[in-house]
Homo-oligomer: A and B are copies of this chain.
């Protein structure tokens, strides 16, 4: 039973936070951080498959993903689903406020919850924080633009390859590692929903990439055998991942 599994790691004191360098609060000094630690309302633990943020809930809170993966999605009236942002540790969830899409956990996950009114108060007082906030959203825009290019102008094999490169790179300081095991918890159905493909076709694309000896994806683990060749095949360039200042 899922309940038996070890829970995801709980966040500790903010000033020791291992994901802070990636997250909203990176520009703050330790002293400022201590102030926030008081402010941080709660921690949220979510199991794989459960809702991290429900429709509309974003009007009240913002979360920082501490451990685990999650994704935002939208369901069209005919039932088809499109996955938008894919969140990894350090990412900010719910930045769009009331207009935020619902978010679901891919793996068991733990998150730091911030009330939106408090966040707003903090942003009003700390311009550096507001700028950091904007930068995170700007980065998210860069990722969305890249995926838009995928859905619009890449075929199935290239889409799958480009997403694997991106997710591997985001777990490896921006560089897709060669011949190393990389966690890849997304199911093929979810990959399909993220890439605008059917799950079956994702499978066929993965088979092609495996046959070409470019990558292997088995039991939630990805291995890139030749990231450079894969990037060439997919027309993928890591530039959009850079932490380039949005302002």
> Which residues of A approach B to under 8 Å, CB–CB?
59, 72, 74, 76-78, 80-82, 84-85, 95-99, 101, 116, 119-120, 123-128, 130-131, 133-134, 137-142, 144-149, 151-154, 193-196, 232, 235, 239-240, 242, 244-247
- Residue of chain B at shortest CB distance from A134: B134
Whether A246 touches B82, Cβ cut-off 8 Å, given contacts A123-B130, A148-B144, is no
Q: Smallest Cβ distance from A93 to chain B, in angstroms?
A: 12
Q: Smallest Cβ distance from A137 to chain B, in angstroms?
A: 5
**Is A124's CB under 8 angstroms from B123's CB?**
no
Residues of B within 8 A of A124 (CB): 127-128, 131
User: What CA separation (Å) do A50 and B138 show in the bound complex?
Assistant: 25
User: What CA separation (Å) do A45 and B24 show in the bound complex?
Assistant: 36
**Is B78's CB under 8 angstroms from A235's CB?**
yes
Whether A141 touches B142, Cβ cut-off 8 Å, given contacts A130-B123, A196-B151, is no
**Is A99's CB under 8 angstroms from B242's CB?**
yes
Q: Smallest Cβ distance from A178 to chain B, in angstroms?
A: 21
Cβ contacts A to B, 22 pairs, < 8 Å? A76-B153, A76-B235, A84-B145, A96-B138, A96-B141, A96-B244, A97-B138, A97-B245, A99-B240, A123-B131, A123-B134, A127-B130, A130-B131, A130-B133, A130-B134, A133-B134, A134-B134, A137-B137, A141-B141, A147-B148, A152-B195, A153-B196
